[in-house]
Structure formats: C-alpha cells, structure tokens
Structure 1
Amino acid sequence: MAALLAEPFGYGFMIKAIAGGAAVGALCGLLSCFVTLKGWSLLGDALSHAVVPGVAIAAIFGLPFVAGAVVAGVFAVGAIGFVERNSLLKNDAVIGVVFTAMFALGLFLISVFPSNLRLTTILFGNLLGVADADLWQVAAVGALAVGIVALKWKDLLLFCFDAGHARSIGLDTRLLHGVLLGLLSLAAVAALQAVGALLVVAMLITPGATALLLTDRFGRMLVIAPALGALAAALGAYASFFLDGSTGGLIVALQTAIFFVAFLFAPRRGVLAGRRRAAAAAEAAP
C-alpha cells in the first residue's frame, strides 16, 4: 500500500504538478480574501476570461504570457468603466458583455493564428504538463503578491472594506484598485495552466469564502485561505494520478467540498452552529 501511495512521486511530471498546483492554489487563495471582502466575485470571473486574448497575442508573438495578461486585464477594466459611465447599463451587465467579448476574441485568435498554445489548455488547463518555465512564472508572481500583501495588506483591507473611508484618510484608492486588479490578472494567468479559464474563478473565490466561514479576523483569513487553496490543489493533482480524471476539475471539486464542510460545521458561522444557537435561544425564551 505504501509503495502504491508513493508511486506518483516517482514521476517528475507529477512532482511538478503537485508543487505547481500547491503554489497556484496558495496564490489564488491569498488574493481570494480580498476578492471575497470586496465583493468582486463577478469581476474575478471577468478577469479570468478577459486575459485570454492577451495570453493568445503574447503566444503568437513569443512574448511572456504575464505581459499579455496584464495588458488585457487593464484594458478590460478600462472598457468596463467606460461603458458603465456612458450608458444606463448596470455593472453586472457591462461586465458580462465585456468579458464574454474578450473571451470570444481570445478563442478566435487561438483558432486562427498557429502557436504553441492549445485551446483545450486555455479552457481546461494542463497541470500535468506544467513546464519548469511555468513554475518559475508562478514563483515570481507569488513572490510579488506576497511581498505587496505583506507591505500593504492593511491599506488593501481598508480599501476593500470601505473605499470611501480609505480615500478620506489620504490613501490612493486608484493605485490600490490598480494593484489589486493587476495581481488578480497575474494570478488568473498562473491558474490557467492549472484549471483553465472555465474554472479559474473558483480558485479566486472559494478559498476566501471558506476562510470567511471559519474566522472573522482578516489576518487569519490571509493564512487559512492560501493553506486551503494549496491543500486542495496538491491533493487534487495527487488524486488525479489514480483516478485518471481532469486535474482541474478535481481540484475545484475538492475546494467546493471543503467549502461545504465549513458551511455546515464551522464553529461560529456554520449551519449547525446557527441551529444550535437558535435552539438554545428558544429554550431560554419564557
């Protein structure tokens, strides 16, 4: 049994997949705390799809994917803001129009212009085929995100919780907005390799949502969410060796399972805890 369980570690591609998946899961988990607090779930979904044309153009011209993703993410956010300011459409409608248009453009570019980028990789990820260059890219993006969060997490927390108050005390909310969007764009590119564009949003939301059920202190969230993201990604990559199924799908399924366990059994905010409090209040009532 021990030899069977250790078998995946005898293959170099599995070691890279497990390590790379854990790194991506931790990165997305860290940023998911801010996405959850800010209420940017739909915007996170939009960014994960909007970076696709940037990645496609970067692949066509042989440029780093990260550069294309950042440009595409900035353009998408700018387009959303411009349309919203100059129309009667609500934010969710504008986001839906922009991100689907950019996602479609990316798919078109990939299908028309030959490159080393496969459509299935963009849509569903290919963590088992991760290369050394991809791991270095994730490491660089992760180090950048950790460094910025370590220096500015209190400012980012205040911006996400109450942008008006942050502005009133002299914080540059436009800069914080741009920094957070830039980090999300970079994380979306890193996660594309792991789970694909269709499931990136889950990695950018689920760990933070789970951590929010387990604690009411943001500092603890910044530890819990990356840990949960890394654990689910590493276990998903490991289990896919035996189950011979979609690695990205298994990672997201595990993250969702962890979320529902917390949803039911969280000590203070779980469903069962809420029912116990309700029953105790009913018994104490005259």
Structure 2
Amino acid sequence: MLAEFIQGLMEFHFLQNALITAIVVGTVSGVVGCFIILRGMSLMGDAISHAVLPGVAIAYILNINFFIGAIAFGILSAVIITYIKENSVIKSDTAIGITFSSFLALGIILIGFARTSTDLFHILFGNILAVQDSDKWITIAVAIFVVLAIVLYFKELLLTTFDPQMAKALGTRVNFYHYMLMTLLTLVAVTAMQSVGTILIVALLITPAATAYLFTKTLKTMIFLSAGIGAAVSVVGLFIGYSYNVAVGSSIVLTATVVFLVSFFVSPKQKYIKRRGHDG
C-alpha cells in the first residue's frame, strides 16, 4: 500500500497537491488550535467553520473565489458572537449556538439557489484530492500570513490568553487581539475546508493541540508539537483515504483522534497508567 502511495505521488499531480495542502493545513491548524483551546474557545472554532457556508454559497453565485466569501462571513460571525456576548446577559455558548445554526441554515438555503449540490458535499466533508494549483498556493499564502502574525504578536497573544485582566491593566488592547485571533481562526477554517470540510474543521483545530497539551508545559513547545502532530495526522489520513478509497477528511480526523486517545493514556501529565497501577 505504501509503495503504491509513493508511486502515486511520483505520477499524479493531484496527489502532490493534496499532500502539500494536507501538510500546510495540518501545521497551521495545530498552531492556531493551541490558542483556541487555551482560551476555552473550542466552540468558537466550530461556529466559524459553519458560519462560512453562506459566504461560500454567495461566492459560487457571484462566480468569485470562495475564499473571499468564506472569510467575510467567518469574520462577520465572530463579530456578531462577540457583540452579543459583550452587550447582553446571554452567555457566549448561547450566542455561538444561535449564530452558527442560523448561518448554517442560511448557507444551505443559498447553496440550494446556487444549484451546486455536489459542491455542498465537498464543502461539508472536504475533497482534498480535488485541490487545484491556485487553491494550494492560496492555502500556503494564508498559512504563512497566519504564522507570521502569531510570531510577530506572540507576547501579546500569550499575555491576553493566560491573564487578560493583567493585560488590560498593562494597557494591552485585549479586544484587538481577540478579534485578530478570530480573523486568523477564520482564515485557517477556510483553508481547512478543502481538506476536512466544514463539519470536521474543529477536530483538526482542537485534537492536535489537545494532544500536544498533554505533553508540554510551555506554549512555544506546545505550538511546535501541535503543528507537528497536525501535519503528521494529515499525511497519514491522506494515505489511508487514498489507499483504501475512503473519505480523506474523515480519515485525517480519526487518525488525530487515535493519536489523542493513545496520548491520553501514556501522557506524563495524566499519570493514568500509574494511577491504574496504584488502584490495582
């Protein structure tokens, strides 16, 4: 199977595109995912990944690149959720639930108008084997932009993630960095749409980062480990999907889940095996 996969990589341009895109998306998802789980914003990742659907539909109707529509609606949903949370007694999980379900419903109706039922399936579940050269280069450009933004503003993101009250006291623009992270999250969600689809994006954002968290004590180490895990599970998932003719997006997510489950039991932070030994 592995020999066939390597042979396919040598011969088929679509498989080369899929491999590069999988590595890039897995890496950048792992990086952004660290901030998302440390801020307790996993649900926000889910909301934004679903909220981009109307933007994709409108892009199809207007015949423009779907990245433009998806990013616009992703950022819009983040603004709406934050506005509701900060200006009412409603808690953030409720605001997220209302926003993402309504955006998702709007997206499905608009895609009905766009008459692209096959595209809807690919949007929801991903189709990395159909990635075009232009999409691949956009994905690489977005990933470089996201990583550069995190490197440049690492100290501010670190402070606002772990101690937003102190950050405010020091005069750091906490809201600015919140919206910046939401924008980066939207960009990653849109790029990951091709590999795992909107339904499964949150898994690629959360699972590698959660796995890395079990083994690390500093944010920098966590980011590097999470990026590595994200890239590795994406490659293994692509190999499984291609070799056994199953959905690549689902294969990537299940691979990430298996890695997390193994890590859960062997992680020194968990001390699960030692505890079981003492209990016995």
Give your verdict on TM over 0.5: yes
- 1:223 maps to 224
User: 1:7 corresponds to which residue?
Assistant: 7
User: Retained in 1: the 8 A contact 2:23–2:232?
Assistant: yes
What is the match of residue 175 of structure 1?
A: 176
Aligned to 1:200: 201
CA offsets per residue over residues 44-100 of structure 1, 9 Å max, x none? 100110111112212322333333223212221232234345554332122111101
Alignment-mate amino acid for residue 78 of structure 1:
V
Q: How does 1:82-93 map to 2 (within 5 A)?
A: 82-85=83-86, 87-93=88-94
Q: Give the structure 2 partner of residue 252 of structure 1.
A: 253
**Structure 2 vs 1, CA of residues 26 and 173 (structure 1 numbering), >3 Å: closer, same or farther?**
same
Matches within 5 A, 1:1-286: 3-9=3-9, 10-85=11-86, 87-114=88-115, 118-275=119-276, 279=278
Deviation at 1:205, TM superposition (A): 0.6
Task: Check the 8 A contact 1:14/1:238 in 2, yes or no.
Answer: no
Contact kept in structure 2, 1:268 and 1:274, CA below 8 Å: no
- Whole-angstrom distance in 1 between the partners of 2:78 and 2:163: 20
Calculate the aligned-residue CA RMSD, in Å.
Answer: 2.0
Instruction: Specify whether residues 245 and 269 from structure 1 end up closer, same or farther in structure 2 by C-alpha distance, changes over 3 A only.
Output: same
Q: Which amino acid aligns with 1:8?
A: G
Tell me which amino acid in the other structure corresponds to 1:163.
P
* Structure-2 change in CA distance of 1:191 and 1:134 (3 Å): same
Question: 3-state DSSP class of the match of 2:199?
Answer: coil
Task: Classify the secondary structure of the residue corresponding to 2:107.
Answer: helix
Q: Is the 8 A contact 1:84 1:94 kept in 2?
A: yes
Whether the aligned pair in 1 keeps the contact of 2:14 and 2:129 (CA below 8 Å) is yes
Structure 2 letter corresponding to 1:230: A
Q: Aligned partners of 1:35, 1:79: CA distance in 2, in Å?
A: 18
Distance (whole Å) between structure 1 residues aligned to residue 86 and residue 220 of structure 2: 35
Write the distance in 1 (CA, Å) between the matches of 2:26 and 2:53: 20
In the superposition, the TM-score normalised over structure 1's length comes to 0.91
Letter of the 1:269 counterpart: Q
In structure 1, how many angstroms separate the alpha carbons of the residues matched to 2:255 and 2:72?
32
SS in structure 2 of the partner of residue 237 of structure 1: helix
- Percent of aligned positions that are identical: 37
**What amino acid is aligned across from residue 6 of structure 2 in structure 1?**
A
TM-score by length of 2: 0.93
Q: Distance in 1 between matches of 2:153 and 2:276?
A: 38
Equivalent residues of 1:8, 1:241 under 8 A apart: no
Unaligned runs of 5+ in 2: none
Q: Secondary structure at the match of 1:216?
A: coil
Aligned length: 278
Contact 2:122 2:194 in 1 (8 A): yes
Cα distance in 1 for partners of 2:260, 2:128 equals 22
Amino acid at match of 1:141: V
- Do 1:213 and 1:270's aligned partners in 2 also have CA atoms closer than 8 Å? no
In structure 2, distance between residues paired with 1:79 and 1:207: 28
Segments of structure 1 that go 5 or more residues without pairing to the other structure are: none
CA contact (8 A) 2:5 2:239 kept: no
Instruction: Give, as a single letter, the amino acid of the residue that structure 1 aligns with 2:183.
Output: G
Alpha-carbon separation, structure 1, partners of 2:60 and 2:275: 50
SS in structure 1 opposite 2:269? coil
Say which SS state the counterpart of residue 215 (structure 1) adopts.
coil
Give per-residue Cα distances to partners, 1:7-39, cap 9 Å, x unaligned: 331322112111111111111111000001100
Equivalent AA in structure 2 for residue 25 of structure 1: G
In the aligned structure 1, how far is the partner of 2:167 from the partner of 2:240?
A: 44
Which is higher, the Rg of structure 1 or of structure 2? 1
Structure 2 SS opposite 1:39: coil
